């Protein structure tokens, strides 16, 4: 079933409508791109990119699918840190973060419900605890909110880009620079709505900025540290493909290399920095490289 959301505010800032509203309301910026989203500015229909100034009135209404009746499942989690407000895990490759179309079990949310009980599932949010996500085939560090106040504050931090996320990736070839940026908007691929693509110019798609550093040049590949300044779906995968250096083992955007047929997606969320949602303390979390990386790196080093 769908749940209807309606939010309104009077802006205190100048900027893009979606940026100002998502930070002020503590809601994900992505909701402004939903097909069901209806946005008004001072009582008139508006685009998410509209410019707002102090005193402007903003209303956003949208529908989002609610996954009712979810059951807890005893799925092991690799815990990096936990307190009364947050849980930080090293997500395994292959685990889906939250239920979606056709997927209602075996997800991280199912594991969280089993871990924390039905009260956790009864959260006001349709995806309890989830403040950011990793693709199914991406492993690594993730933070989960255990309380409503942690949920709202972490959502605000991610929307305001106060967090810092670094990934480790193995990309095809030698990149043009040892330290570089990929600044290309990203939009849905009109030929396949499950995929995304980078576009030239700033008129279409969503702003996306990826920074990379080459850690090591390997046999036909490069080991990268990747810092995302924006959090678009499939961002790293799409950007690296766009500059002709796709990630090894990527089933959606890469090219299979028969020499390394055992390689699954070589993308791992290595570090995450957040401010603790209650104490404000800056916290750094790290998930060591998984065994699949160690195996492939050994092969690529010869």
Q: Looking at the annotation, which residues are catalytic?
A: 135
How many whole angstroms separate alpha carbon 198 and alpha carbon 186? 4
For residue 190, count CB atoms less than 10 angstroms from its CB and return exposed for 0-12, middle for 13-18, buried for 19 or more: exposed
Helix (H, G, I), strand (E, B) or coil at 37: coil
CB-based contact 146:87 (threshold 8 Å) = yes
The sign of the dihedral angle between the CA atoms of 234, 236, 242, 245 is: negative
Within 8 A by CB and 6+ apart from 261, the residues are: none
Distance CA 210, CA 285 (A): 20
- Structure tokens belonging to residue 117: 């009980």
User: Contact 229/222 with Cβ under 8 angstroms?
Assistant: no
Read off the tokens for 32: 């402004």
In angstroms, rounded to a whole number, what is the distance separating the alpha carbons of residues 266 and 199?
24
Give the dihedral sign, CA 102/97/130/22: negative
């Amino acid at each position: 079933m769908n749940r209807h959301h309606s939010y309104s505010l009077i802006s205190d800032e100048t900027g893009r409508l979606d940026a100002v509203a998502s930070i002020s309301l503590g809601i994900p910026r992505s909701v402004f791109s939903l097909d069901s989203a209806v946005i008004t500015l001072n009582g008139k229909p508006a685009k998410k990119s509209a410019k707002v100034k102090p005193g402007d009135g903003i209303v956003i209404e949208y529908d989002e699918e609610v996954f009712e009746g979810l059951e807890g499942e005893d799925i092991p989690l690799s815990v990096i840190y936990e307190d009364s407000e947050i849980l930080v895990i090293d997500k395994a490759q292959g685990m889906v973060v939250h239920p979606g179309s056709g997927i209602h079990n075996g997800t991280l949310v199912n594991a969280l419900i089993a871990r924390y009980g039905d009260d956790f599932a009864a959260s006001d949010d349709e995806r309890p605890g989830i403040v950011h996500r990793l693709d199914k085939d991406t492993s690594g560090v993730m933070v989960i909110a255990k309380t409503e106040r942690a949920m709202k504050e972490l959502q605000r931090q991610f929307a305001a880009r106060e967090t810092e996320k670094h990934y480790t990736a193995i990309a095809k070839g030698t990149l043009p620079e040892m330290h570089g940026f990929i600044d290309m908007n990203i939009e849905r691929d009109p030929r396949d709505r499950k995929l995304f693509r980078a576009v030239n110019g700033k008129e279409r798609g969503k702003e996306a900025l990826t920074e990379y550093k080459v850690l090591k040049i390997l046999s036909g590949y490069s080991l990268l540290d990747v810092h995302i300044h924006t959090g678009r779906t499939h961002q790293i995968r799409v950007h690296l493909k766009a500059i002709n250096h796709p990630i090894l083992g990527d089933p959606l955007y890469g090219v299979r290399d028969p020499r390394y047929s055992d390689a699954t997606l070589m993308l791992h969320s290595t570090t995450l920095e957040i401010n603790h949602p209650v104490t404000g303390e800056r916290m750094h979390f790290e998930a060591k490289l998984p065994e699949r990386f160690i195996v492939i790196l050994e092969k690529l080093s010869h």
